[in-house]
Structure 1
Amino acid sequence: MASLVLLNGAKTHTGFLGIVCLSASKASYSTDVPAWYRPLKSTNQATFKKGPGGRSSFNGVVATVFGCSGFLGRYVVNKLGKVGSQVICPYRADSSDVQHLKVMGDLGQILFHPYYLRDEESIRKAMKYSNVVINLVGRDWETKNFSFKDVHVDGARRLARIARESGVEKFIHLSALNASEHPTPCYYKDGSKFLQSKYHGENAVREEFPNATIIRPSDMYGQEDRFLTYYAHFWRRFIRLVPLWQNGNKTIKQPVFVGDVAQGILNAIKDPDAVGQIIQAVGPRRYLLRELVDWFFRVMRKDENWGYIRYDARFDPTFKLKVALTEAIQLSHPIGNLHHERVEREYVTDVVEKSVPTLEDLGVQLTFMEDQVPWELRPFRAGLYYDSAIGEFQKPAPPQVLA
C-alpha cells in the first residue's frame, strides 16, 4: 500500500507500510542523522525521542540494568538517567535496596521490577519493553545459594538468551580483564575460579547473543569500592604490617575509575561500531602493586612514621590462616572483603592486549588515579578529625608509573 509523501519539499516513496519519518527544521536530535531523513524502527509513539536532550527528556533508549544495585550499577543508572534514558532496575531481596536509584532520572523514567536469576518469567517481564539490556550481575565470592558458575555462566547465558528471544537490540555483558580458561596460579595453587567462570561466561553470552558487547574491566576504584577499601581496612593487615605476595614486586596493576567504565558502557550503547566487540576497560597508567599500596598508605597518612611496613606474604603462613578463619566465620559478607578469591586475584598481573579496543576507543577521557584516589581515601586518614593547619602535611609523593 505505497504512497507519496512530501518530505522537506521532495516527494518520497514510503514503501509497503506507508511509513515515513517527517523531519522538521526544529525537530529535536536532528543532528543525530541526516537532516532530511530519520528512519523509524517502530511506529509506537512511546519510543520516539522527546525533548531537547538531558535528564528531563527521552532519548529513545529503554535499558534494563541487571545488577543495578551493585557498585558499578548505580554509576551506570545515573549515566543513563542523565541523558534521558528510561531505565528498568530489576532487583532481588528488598525494594529499599534500590530506592536510592529513583532520583537518578526524571519522574517515571526509573522503574523497578523484582526478579530472580533462575526465574525466566520475571526476567522476561523485566526486559519486555527494552531495546538495551546490560548485565552487571556478578559475585566476588561463592555462597551456599550461588556458585560462580550459577552467576557468571548459567545466569549470563539465561539473560542473553531471553534478551535475544525478546528482540533486544543491544546486549552489554560485564566480564573481567584477566578472564582465562586456565588462570595462572599465584598465591593459591588452584588459581582463580572467578576469572575462569568469567571466561566461560563470555563464551556462553556469545553463543546466545553473538552481537553482544563484552566489557572487561580491571580493578575498579571509586566510592565504596572493593579495591581501595580492601587495602584501607584494618582486617587486611596485621596491626600495621601489610603482607603482599613477593612483596608486591611481581604484580602489575592498571586500575580504572568506575565512572569511566560507566561512561564506556553508555558510549557503547550509542556507538554502532561497538556491537559484537570486546572492550578492555583499563586505566591510563600501569603500576607495580607495591607502588600502589605504599602510595595508598602515604595518602592515608599511615607511612613509615605511623608504623607501616610491607613484607613478603610467602614467609608468613599466618596470613593464609587468617584468610581461612575469616571465610569460616563469615555469615554473608567476608570481613574487610578478605577471602581467598580476592587474595588470589590481587596478585594477577593485568594483561592488556594491544589488538583489543579500550575505553579510549569509545571516546572516554580516562581519569588519573593521582587525581581521584586522594579524595576516595580521605575518610581513611589517620587522625581523621584532626584540624590540620595549611601546609602542615606535605603532599604525598605519587606512585612510580611503569613505562
Structure 2
Amino acid sequence: MIQGKTRDLDGKLVALIGGTGFFGTHLAQELLARGARLRVCSRHPERAFQIKPLGGLGQTQLVAVDVTKPHTVAVALTGVDAVVNLVGAFAGDLDALQGEGAGRLAQAAKDAGATAFVHVSALGADAASDVPYARTKSEGEVAVLAAFPSATVVRPSILFGEDDKFLNMFGGLVSSFPMLPVFGPNARLQPVFVDDAAEAIANALTAPGVHGGKTYELAGPEVVTMGDLNRRIAKAAGRSPVLIELPDAVSAAIASLTGWLPGAPITSDQWKLLAAGNVATGTLPGIEALGVSPRPLGLFLDRWMTRFRKFGRFGVKAKAA
C-alpha cells in the first residue's frame, strides 16, 4: 500500500468499472491506500487478482460485469458510494462501450444512489472526428453528464508508468532493431504519469461538490514530439538505432495501405489520432486544478529503461564514492 496517504475515502464503497487494466490497477492502489472499499467490475474479473494484495483483508471485491448487459451493472452497483468508469476500447461496438453505453452506466449509478461519478474519457475526444474512438469518447461525455449532471469528466493524455505498454513498447523496439521508422515525428504529445492521474481521480471522488459537473484535462508538465520521445528512450536505454523520421505523407500512405493487416505497424485510425496530436487545449482546467503537481517523464525514464540496456543493470558502472 502507498504510505502516508490521507484516508479521506475511509469505508466508502467505490466501484471501478473496467478496472482490471494498467490504469485500473494504479487507481485501485491509490483508492485502497485512502481507505476505500473497492469493487472491481470487469468482464474478466480474474485479471484483477493482482489488486487483492494491494489492500487489507476483505477490502477488495471482484465482480463479473458486462456494461452492454444492464442487469449485470445494476447488481454490481448495489450499495455503492461512488463509481469510476474506466471502460474504453479501440474496436467493437464503441457506442455501447464508451458512447451511449457510458450514459446508461451513469444512470445506473444515479439509480443506485451513488453520490460521486468520475468518467474517464480521453484528451482526444472530439465529436467531429471521423475516428470512431474519438467520436464516441466525446458522445460518452455528453451522455454521462445528461444522466448524472454532477459527474466529473477527466480527459487523460497518454498514460506512462513503469509497467505501461507505451514506453516499454518503444524500449523493446530500440533494443531489438538497429533501424526503426518513426511515424509522425513532429506529432506533439503531453504524457501524464499514471499515478498522478490516479491521484487526480481520487481527489475528484473525495470532493464531488467541488469537482462535480466539470471536465478536466489530465496532462503532464512537458510537451514532446514523437521524434524526441524516441530519441530520449533510445538514449535512456543506452541504444543507438538509426531512427528514420517518416514524412507525414509516407506515414499516412503506410497506414492506409497496410493498416488493415494483422500486426500492421500503424492503422489508419491510429495515424489520424497521432497526427492530430495529444496535448491539452488549455481551455479546460488541468490536473493542477485537482490538486496534483504532475511529474515529468524525465524524472523516471533513465531508471525505467535500465532493463533495455545491453547488459541491464550489470552494464552500468557504480559511481565512485
**So what's the TM-score if we normalise by structure 1?**
0.71
| Residue from 288, 291, 295 that aligns with 1:360 | 288
| Residue from 236, 242, 256 that aligns with 1:308 | 242
**Which residue number in structure 1 is paired with residue 101 of structure 2?**
155
Deviation at 1:166, TM superposition (A): 1.3
Could you tell me how far apart the structure 1 residues matched to 2:72 and 2:169 are? 34
**Which residue number in structure 1 is paired with residue 65 of structure 2?**
115
Could you tell me how far apart the structure 2 residues matched to 1:382 and 1:308 are? 17
Are positions 1:83 and 2:22 aligned together?
Answer: no
Could you tell me how far apart the structure 1 residues matched to 2:181 and 2:234 are? 10
Within 5 A, what are the aligned runs for 1:187-202? 191-202=130-141
Are positions 1:264 and 2:200 aligned together?
Answer: yes
Deviation at 1:71, TM superposition (A): 1.2
Could you tell me how far apart the structure 1 residues matched to 2:264 and 2:281 are? 34
* Cα pair distance change 1:362/1:155, threshold 3 Å: same
Are positions 1:181 and 2:115 aligned together?
Answer: no
Could you tell me how far apart the structure 2 residues matched to 1:208 and 1:350 are? 28
Deviation at 1:380, TM superposition (A): 2.4
**Which residue number in structure 2 is paired with residue 374 of structure 1?**
302
Deviation at 1:204, TM superposition (A): 1.1
> Sequence identity, in percent?
23
| Residue from 28, 45, 54 that aligns with 1:104 | 54
* Cα pair distance change 1:119/1:339, threshold 3 Å: same
SS, match of residue 134 in structure 1: strand
Could you tell me how far apart the structure 1 residues matched to 2:316 and 2:14 are? 47
Could you tell me how far apart the structure 2 residues matched to 1:335 and 1:379 are? 26
Contact 1:279 1:357 in 2 (8 A): yes
**Which residue number in structure 2 is paired with residue 131 of structure 1?**
81
* Cα pair distance change 1:233/1:280, threshold 3 Å: same
SS, match of residue 108 in structure 1: coil
After superposition, the C-alpha distances for 1:37-65 in whole angstroms (9 at most, x for unaligned) are xxxxxxxxxxxxxxxx9699971321000
Deviation at 1:236, TM superposition (A): 12
Within 5 A, what are the aligned runs for 1:277-356? 277-303=214-240, 307-313=241-247, 314-315=249-250, 319-320=254-255, 323-324=258-259, 327-329=260-262, 338-356=266-284
Deviation at 1:339, TM superposition (A): 4.0
Could you tell me how far apart the structure 2 residues matched to 1:149 and 1:265 are? 24
Could you tell me how far apart the structure 1 residues matched to 2:245 and 2:283 are? 36
* Cα pair distance change 1:227/1:57, threshold 3 Å: closer
Contact 2:227 2:245 in 1 (8 A): no
Once structures 1 and 2 are overlaid, which stretch shifts more, 99-108 or 348-357? Answer: 348-357
Deviation at 1:320, TM superposition (A): 3.2
* Cα pair distance change 1:328/1:291, threshold 3 Å: closer
* Cα pair distance change 1:344/1:384, threshold 3 Å: farther
Deviation at 1:363, TM superposition (A): 1.1
- Greater relative contact order (Cα < 8 A, sep 6+): 2
* Cα pair distance change 1:318/1:153, threshold 3 Å: closer
| Residue from 154, 157, 179 that aligns with 1:240 | 179
Select the structure that is richer in helix.
Answer: 2
* Cα pair distance change 1:82/1:55, threshold 3 Å: farther
* Cα pair distance change 1:67/1:224, threshold 3 Å: same
SS, match of residue 138 in structure 1: coil
After superposition, the C-alpha distances for 1:351-401 in whole angstroms (9 at most, x for unaligned) are 423342111111112111111122333322344375332369xxxxxxxxx
SS, match of residue 162 in structure 1: helix
Could you tell me how far apart the structure 1 residues matched to 2:302 and 2:319 are? 16
CA radius of gyration, larger in = 1
Could you tell me how far apart the structure 2 residues matched to 1:234 and 1:319 are? 19
Could you tell me how far apart the structure 1 residues matched to 2:144 and 2:175 are? 35
Deviation at 1:205, TM superposition (A): 0.8
One-letter code of the match for 1:67?
Answer: G
The count of aligned residue pairs is 315
In structure 1, runs of 5+ residues without a counterpart are 1-52, 184-190, 393-403
Could you tell me how far apart the structure 2 residues matched to 1:176 and 1:270 are? 22
Contact 1:252 1:287 in 2 (8 A): yes
Are positions 1:59 and 2:10 aligned together?
Answer: yes
Contact 1:55 1:81 in 2 (8 A): no
One-letter code of the match for 2:200?
Answer: G
SS, match of residue 161 in structure 1: helix
One-letter code of the match for 1:298?
Answer: K
Deviation at 1:238, TM superposition (A): 7.2
In structure 2, runs of 5+ residues without a counterpart are none
**Which residue number in structure 1 is paired with residue 210 of structure 2?**
273
After superposition, the C-alpha distances for 1:104-133 in whole angstroms (9 at most, x for unaligned) are 211111011111122212111111111100
CA RMSD of aligned residues (A): 2.9
